[in-house]
Amino acid sequence: MMPLLSEQARGTVSLVGAGPGDLELLTLRAWRRLQMAEVLVYDNLVGPGIVELAPPQAQRLYVGKSAGNHTLPQDEICRLLVRLAQQGRRVVRLKGGDPFVFGRGGEEMDLLLQHRIPVEIVPGITAALGAAASLGFPLTHRDHAQSCVFVTGHLKDHTIDLNWQALAQPGQTVVIYMGVTGLETIASELQAAGLPGNTPAALVYKATWPQEAIYPTRLRDLPRTAERYGVKPPSLLVIGSVVSLAQAWSTRQAL
């Protein structure tokens, strides 16, 4: 374990959610923390223009992770945050979406607290909320879904081990993060658990970014749809009848 420094020397770390991509979806507190940053440690899912909100003199450290390509392993990122704070610096750890929704913010917070480093959590709009608002499908709706579940498409060891029976319940929206590489398993397991193959579904690529795209489909056709359109991460998988409302939204927007 790293040696502890005095309270006077110890800096602070703000775990800041950058939202789904659109700069205008930052919270006011996130913007303020960026303005105050002495060091900015940021991910690859931070939207365009957001990093530039930090002062020009702030040190910028990119630690982005994408499929099969990690600039730094997670444990090294955690230790980096500790080291920077122990140098007495104001650190902003900028994450796409929300730090506590599949953002590994909990792991970073735990180690910082172990070293008695002050930590602040600044929530951000998670990708599912950004996609729903941008593309016009509510995650809950009295006529479609009375519950909504967020799950990860792969675990720490990259396996898929979900409670398929719980996810296959009627009247529910299921949003799967990081699920593109496991579409075959997801589609087959959900159908085996009783969710009809014709259940509406959609793949959403880079919600709220300039490159945003939605690919509506059905549960049984998810793998074929992804292959046909070449859908790649970062993409969300949304399953449930609320997806059908996105078409009505796009039609009205075009009028």
Calculate mean pLDDT across residues 122-148. Answer: 97
Considering the domain architecture, whether residues 28 and 100 belong to the same structural domain is answered as yes
- What is the predicted pLDDT for the residue at 13? 98
In this structure, what CATH number is given to the domain that contains residue 65? 3.40.1010.10
- DSSP structure string for 153-195: SS-TTS-----HHHHT-SSEEEEEET-GGGHHHHHHHHHHTT-
Domain holding 212, by residue range, is 127-254
- Asked if pLDDT for residue 214 goes beyond 60, the answer is yes
Calculate mean pLDDT across residues 185-193. Answer: 97
DSSP E strand boundaries for the chain: 12-17, 39-42, 59-62, 65-66, 69-70, 90-95, 119-122, 147-152, 172-177, 200-205, 213-218, 235-239
Considering the domain architecture, whether residues 59 and 136 belong to the same structural domain is answered as no
Nearest to 54 by CA among 87, 91, 27: 91
- What is the predicted pLDDT for the residue at 6? 45
Contact 125, 16 (CB under 8 A): no
CA 92 to each of CA 34, 62, 68, 224, 229: distance values in angstroms, whole numbers, following the listed order? 7, 12, 25, 40, 36
- Asked if pLDDT for residue 251 goes beyond 70, the answer is no
> In this structure, what DSSP letter does residue 141 have?
B
Q: Which of 41-50, 147-156, 194-203, 231-240 bottoms out in mean pLDDT, i.e. has the lowest?
A: 147-156
Residue 65 bears catalytic tag = yes
Peptide bond into 210 cis (omega under 30): no
Of the CA atoms within 13 Å of residue 147, those in its CB half-sphere come to 9
Query: 196 falls in which pLDDT band (50, 70, 90)?
Result: very high
- Asked if pLDDT for residue 250 goes beyond 70, the answer is no
Residues 92 and 46: their CA atoms lie apart, in Å, by 13
Choosing from 43, 95, 98, 206, which is the catalytic residue?
43
Residue 43 bears catalytic tag = yes
CA 58, 62, 67: angle at the middle one, nearest 5? 160
In this structure, what CATH number is given to the domain that contains residue 179? 3.30.950.10
Q: Is residue 4 part of a domain?
A: no
- What is the predicted pLDDT for the residue at 92? 98
Considering the domain architecture, whether residues 16 and 109 belong to the same structural domain is answered as yes
- Asked if pLDDT for residue 96 goes beyond 50, the answer is yes
Residues 192 and 143: their CA atoms lie apart, in Å, by 25
Number of separate domains in the chain = 2
Per-residue pLDDT tens over the stretch 42-94: 999 999 999 999 999 999 999 987 655 557 899 999 999 999 999 999 999 99
Q: Which of 59-63, 150-154, 236-240 bottoms out in mean pLDDT, i.e. has the lowest?
A: 150-154
Considering the domain architecture, whether residues 190 and 151 belong to the same structural domain is answered as yes
Residues 47 and 61: their CA atoms lie apart, in Å, by 15
Considering the domain architecture, whether residues 26 and 117 belong to the same structural domain is answered as yes
> In this structure, what DSSP letter does residue 51 have?
G
Helices 222-229 & 183-192 angle (0-180, nearest 10)? 160
- Asked if pLDDT for residue 34 goes beyond 50, the answer is yes
Q: Is residue 244 part of a domain?
A: yes
Residues 250 and 255: their CA atoms lie apart, in Å, by 9
The reply to whether the predicted model has a pTM over 0.95 is no
Calculate mean pLDDT across residues 230-253. Answer: 84
Average pLDDT taken over every residue of the chain: 91
- Asked if pLDDT for residue 131 goes beyond 90, the answer is yes
Q: What are phi and psi of 35, to 5 degrees?
A: -65, -25
Calculate mean pLDDT across residues 234-255. Answer: 78
Domain boundary among 66, 95, 122: 122
